[in-house]
Structure 1
Amino acid sequence: MTILSILDLSPVPAGGSAAQSLHNSIDLARHADSLGYHRYWLAEHHNLANIASSAPDLMIGQIAAATRNMRIGSGGVMLPNHAPLTVAERFKVLEALFPGRIDLGLGRAPGTDHVTSLALRRRQDVRDDDDFLERFQELLLLENNGYPKDHPFSNVRAMPDDVALPPIFLLGSSDYSAQLAAQIGAGFAFAHHFASHDARDAMRLYRDRFKPSQHLQKPHAILGTAAVVADTAEEAERLASTIDLNFVRRAKGVYAPLESPEVALAYDYSPIDRQRIAQNRERLAVGDPAMVKARLTQLAAETRADEIMVTTMIYDHGARKRSYDLLAQAFSLIPSHAMPQPAAAC
């Protein structure tokens, strides 16, 4: 059976509010939990009018408390924005509260523009070079008490220190994180929904170079991709027009709230706009349930993905829930009410 999961950016529609979008994420997570989805990850983005998800660790706690079955995690925490000790302690707290249900997905990018990134890191030791690897190594040293005795951090413990960090996944849109994840024996999630790098190449590199670790004995590769499912292909195309306009605007540096299909379909696209839409549609699965299942199944086979993580950035919350509902039906996910319940404790 194909493992299906969800990546949620808490999309903000035109005329809506970011606060409502966060509540919509909790509502969608409850729905996805009942449908049989495996994971529910929250993104980290900043200073974007169309994305309300800026604090995934806070949302993970809220969503884990509102659900019963899914693993809840970050897709991801953008490590350049945070002190490694802060990340370690927040995710240890989450793991303590929801044992066995938390994932720690880590990303290299800041999830925002350069100026906002500086504001996020203003009281840190900000450098112009990429310090992701150093921060990641510090996170692992803190977790494993790996600093030598003469190091200033040798007695620093990420609390609660009797709780291990949840499973670590490295996020990537190129081959860098794929190779790093393989080297340290971590999970890997590839962002096919916006990457220009070939997903098959990144996933192959990860599998070919994977070294088992104490945390993960064999590779686990997640393919992140975008999809829009509706009862008919025509309705799916109408809903996906929101994504088309959003992509065109992003290419021009405009990050406005998501417009309705009516506004998107009436937009006066230039030839270069339509070229960009066609290029982006190659990474987007749109159609009725059978069409999208066929497309995602093919992608999973080509990339040898262990799991497919779907993001659906459309205007209407009800249509987004319906899209995930139809996708779950297409892949014959087992609803939570049909799952065997754990035996009662004595």
Structure 2
Amino acid sequence: MTAISVLDLTPVPEGSTESQALHNTIDLARHVDALGYRRHWLAEHHGIPSVASSSPEVLIGHVAMATERIRVGSGGIMLPNHSSLRIAEEFKVLEALHPGRIDLGIGRAPGTDQLTALAIRRSREALTADDFPNQLGELLAWGGHAEFPAGHPYARIKAIPTDVMLPPVFLLGSSDYSAQSAAVNGLGFAFAAHINPGGAIGALRMYREQFVPGYVERPHAILTLAVIVGEDDEHAAQLASSGHLSMVMLRAGRPGPIPSVETAMRFQPTDPQQRMILEQVKRSMISGGPETVRARVEELMVSSGADELMVTTLVHDHEERKASYTRLAAALDIAVPEPAAAESVPA
């Protein structure tokens, strides 16, 4: 049976607040933990009114405390926004406090616009630097899974706690670059098909073909999809309309909280660009009743060869979001697992 996991962007519904969205994330985590989902990953985004996931490392600790079985991690930490030493320390602390239940997903995009990224990184040189491979190497060395090269100036620095190794590390991406980087470093890989629907098959094939045992002994590929499961196809289309309009607004440079279904159902694109964006967004999301979604998801899992499915669900109503995950669990026949044991590799 394919494992199913959650990618949570902590969406902010119209008429609510960012603070409530954070509490909704905790509530969703408890819900999917009880349903038998394998992982609950928290995203990193900055300055986007529709999502409140600005500090996944803080949320991870709270979600882990509020749940019992599910693995909790980042989906992902945008490594260029941070120092590798700081991330190594934070995730070793999380692993020490919640042994065997933490994942570290790493991305290389800023997770925001260029001006906000500049404010985060504090210099134009840091904003334009292309040193992700060096950052990743430092992270793995401080995490206890690699060695610094001889004579490296950081070799004597320790990431505390020193008696804990980094939790399982995954690279996240939506391109061949990320797939290749995960493969040559022997890491798990999560492909963002909700961002690049057409790139999954080729990227996951490249990952498997070029994989070299390293941090893990065998490749582990996660396929991330945007999925909404309604009571039937019509109900799902209504729920999905909020996410569709939210993405149209974001890409048109007018971001805002997730609009209500009532607002979204009244929306009509007024120009060719809006119509093009709306069609692209619809193609990137899978929505329907349980049987419709099951057929589509199973088709994509087989064609991609992924080991695990991760789902992000963007709807206005929090209870409907929980209900969508409930319907997905039933449609794909997942079962409640035993309490988590220590896990050193992404099984």
TMscore range, shorter length: over 0.9
1:24 and 2:24 correspond: yes
Residue 123 of structure 1 and its aligned partner are, at CA, apart by 6.8
Alpha carbons 2:236, 2:288 under 8 Å: kept: yes
- 1:297 is aligned to 298
- 1:147 is aligned to 148
Distance 1:177 1:87 in 2: 19
Stretch moving more, 218-227 or 194-203: 194-203
Distance 2:149 2:304 in 1: 41
Residue 96 of structure 1 and its aligned partner are, at CA, apart by 0.5
Residue 271 of structure 1 and its aligned partner are, at CA, apart by 5.2
Aligned positions of 1:98-109 closer than 5 A: 98-109=98-109
Aligned positions of 1:6-21 closer than 5 A: 6-21=6-21
Distance 2:147 2:339 in 1: 41
- 2:120 is aligned to 120
- 2:195 is aligned to 194
Aligned positions of 1:84-99 closer than 5 A: 84-99=84-99
Q: Secondary structure at the match of 1:126?
A: helix
Distance 1:127 1:53 in 2: 21
Distance 2:290 2:129 in 1: 45
Please tell me the residue identity of whatever aligns with 1:110.
P
| CA distance 1:237–1:124, shift in 2 (3 Å) | same
Distance 1:269 1:86 in 2: 45
Per-residue CA deviation, residues 183-242 of structure 1 (Å, 9 max, x unaligned), is: 0110000000012651100010001111112x3111100001101111121111001011
Q: Secondary structure at the match of 1:308?
A: strand
Per-residue CA deviation, residues 133-176 of structure 1 (Å, 9 max, x unaligned), is: 22112212323473356443221000101100001100001100
Q: Secondary structure at the match of 2:256?
A: coil
Aligned positions of 1:190-339 closer than 5 A: 190-195=191-196, 198-213=199-214, 215-270=215-270, 272=272, 273-336=274-337, 339=338
Q: Secondary structure at the match of 1:14?
A: coil
Distance 1:271 1:120 in 2: 35
| CA distance 1:149–1:274, shift in 2 (3 Å) | closer
Q: Secondary structure at the match of 1:282?
A: helix
Distance 2:296 2:222 in 1: 16
Alpha carbons 1:13, 1:316 under 8 Å: kept: yes
| CA distance 1:127–1:322, shift in 2 (3 Å) | closer
Distance 1:271 1:233 in 2: 27
Distance 1:148 1:208 in 2: 27
Please tell me the residue identity of whatever aligns with 2:43.
A
1:61 and 2:61 correspond: yes
Residue 130 of structure 1 and its aligned partner are, at CA, apart by 2.1
Distance 2:63 2:127 in 1: 34
Alpha carbons 1:173, 1:197 under 8 Å: kept: no
| CA distance 1:264–1:131, shift in 2 (3 Å) | same
Alpha carbons 1:225, 1:311 under 8 Å: kept: yes
Please tell me the residue identity of whatever aligns with 1:249.
M
Alpha carbons 1:5, 1:37 under 8 Å: kept: yes
Q: Secondary structure at the match of 1:158?
A: coil
- 2:170 is aligned to 169
- 1:44 is aligned to 44
- 2:70 is aligned to 70
Distance 2:207 2:149 in 1: 31
Alpha carbons 2:118, 2:127 under 8 Å: kept: no
Q: Secondary structure at the match of 1:160?
A: coil
Please tell me the residue identity of whatever aligns with 1:193.
H
Distance 1:196 1:114 in 2: 24
Q: Secondary structure at the match of 2:143?
A: helix
Instruction: Give the superposed CA RMSD.
Output: 1.7
Distance 1:282 1:17 in 2: 29
- 1:158 is aligned to 159
Alpha carbons 1:174, 1:197 under 8 Å: kept: no
Q: Sequence identity, in percent?
A: 49
Aligned pair count reads 339
- 2:181 is aligned to 180
Please tell me the residue identity of whatever aligns with 2:24.
N
Please tell me the residue identity of whatever aligns with 1:235.
H
Alpha carbons 2:100, 2:340 under 8 Å: kept: no
Alpha carbons 2:57, 2:90 under 8 Å: kept: yes
Per-residue CA deviation, residues 59-95 of structure 1 (Å, 9 max, x unaligned), is: 0000011111111000000001100000000000000
